[in-house]
Amino acid sequence: MKDLITRNYASIVKRGYITPATTGFRFLMKLVEEVNEVNEEEFLMRNNQPHKLGEELADVILTALNFAHHFDINIEKELHKKIEKNEKRKD
């Protein structure tokens, strides 16, 4: 996973979309944009039209990974912790 995160982050930095000054709010706005695109593609899929739902879901995930990487969050560790928490839930 680390290689995936590093490669993706570097590619977005290279394109100029992430800089040291990029804020959490900017990442959140990008996530909103990507989630809206997932919604559009899901609509196409439900209506038996050509769609790129998988690609758009990947964009959401990669944007979230970039967010975590930018703020030095060990997202793999956090994912494991969250899964363990979910496994213990009683609801």
Tell me the domain boundaries of the chain: 2-88
What is the model's pTM? 0.91
Select from 28, 7, 15, 16 the least CA-distant residue to 71: 28
Q: pLDDT tens-digit profile of 4-63?
A: 999 999 999 999 999 999 999 999 999 999 999 999 999 999 999 999 999 999 999 999
Q: According to CATH, what is the number of the domain 2-88?
A: 1.10.287.1080
| 4, 62, 65, 86 from 8: Cα distances, Å | 6, 7, 9, 28
